[in-house]
Amino acid sequence: MTQLKKNTSLTLCNVSIKPGQNHTILCDFSNFYTSRRIKVPIHIFHGQHTGPKLFILSTLHGDEVNGIEIINRLHEHKAVKHLNGTLITIPVANPFGLILRTREAIGQDLNRVFPGNKTGKLASRLAYFLTENIIKQCDYGIDLHSGGNYLFNLPQTRIDESMTELCQLAEAFGVAIIDSPVRKKSLRGLTMSLNIPLLVFEGGEASRVDDGCIKVGLQGVLNVLANLNMIDAKWAKKKTNPVYYRELTWIRAPAGGLLLPHQSINHHIKKNQVLAKILDPFDLESAKQVRSPCNGTIIAKSTAPLVNEGEPLFHIAPDSKK
């Protein structure tokens, strides 16, 4: 690493952290109707030398838990012992959803209410707290997600290609890159308006821990930290050339029944190839085949044993690459 300037003290949530210090803040946010206090743990690694401020948060959706273990392994990694700049991690950004084992934060999707409102509903207040105390204080961000219930996502990053620096970080992360539209009032939408490059990582499915996705996510985070010169380059994996996908197609169930997949995640499939069979459990002689409408790669697939007509089965990225 090049020689960097000595860092200065950092004040976060009214707590002063000196250069070279690590600190955990338990922010007393709110309480349930049971009078149980809800605290948001914020971990700060404040390096001896200057560098970017980067936040990593997980579990904006309370049932997406892989990111918690990605952050845990990052905390234990030797790379963060000698850090330039400041790393701020929030393993559980939505404690309400985690406790209740739900996606939402007390009736609202936390990732649809940014920048939040200080006097709004509970989810909006939490979004406001994160916006004012963490997000606006940082130069970069990584948002760790999983797929939905019964929907497994291939490890991927989601970005807006119009941000050149974000493309560079996504390529450093080292997994498939999805150029996807930004939702209004999402964390991505907020950071874009603030000109803060934010990588969204997706891997695995809700309510399940997947070690493979965790390992990929951890290495991707290390790659980004090294790319920003926050950690030694030796911790980065050799740079690859990730595939960009710009168009995605959902394949939905033509009928309800028992889902019997024939193809796996990340497999390349041909147009008209059989992807799955759906068997009517009440009429075993009646089955429907599900075929691909195009050549492409499976980037997400249903893990549900039973599906209803119209439910998503496969997410296909057609063959159009950068």
| Closest to 89 in 3D by CA, of 186, 216, 218 | 218
pLDDT above 70 covers a percentage of the chain that reads 98
CATH 3.40.50.880 assigned to 10-244: no
Across residues 161-178, what is the average pLDDT?
A: 95
pLDDT tens, 129-162? Answer: 999 999 999 999 999 999 999 999 999 999 999 8
User: Residue holding tokens 């991927």?
Assistant: 156
Give the CATH number of domain 247-318: 2.40.50.100
Q: At what angle do helices 164-173 and 211-227 cross, to 10 degrees?
A: 130
- At 2, the pLDDT band (50, 70, 90 cuts) reads low
pTM, full prediction: 0.95
Q: Distance (Å, rounded) from C-alpha 319 to C-alpha 247?
A: 9
Kindly state the average pLDDT of the residues 53-59.
98
CB neighbourhood size of 114 (10 A): 24
What stretch(es) of the chain map to CATH 2.40.50.100? 247-318
How do strand 249-252 and strand 312-318 relate by DSSP bridges? antiparallel
Which pLDDT does position 28 carry in this prediction? 86
Q: Are strands 49-58 and 268-269 parallel, antiparallel or unpaired?
A: unpaired
pLDDT in tens, 217-264: 999 999 999 999 999 999 999 878 899 999 899 999 999 999 999 999
Per-residue model confidence (pLDDT) at position 33:
81
- Which run of H or of E encompasses 244? strand 244-245
> What pLDDT is recorded for position 34?
82
Question: Phi, psi (5° rounding) for residue 65?
Answer: -110, -10
Q: What is the pLDDT of residue 286?
A: 87
List where CATH 3.40.630.10 sits in the chain: 10-244
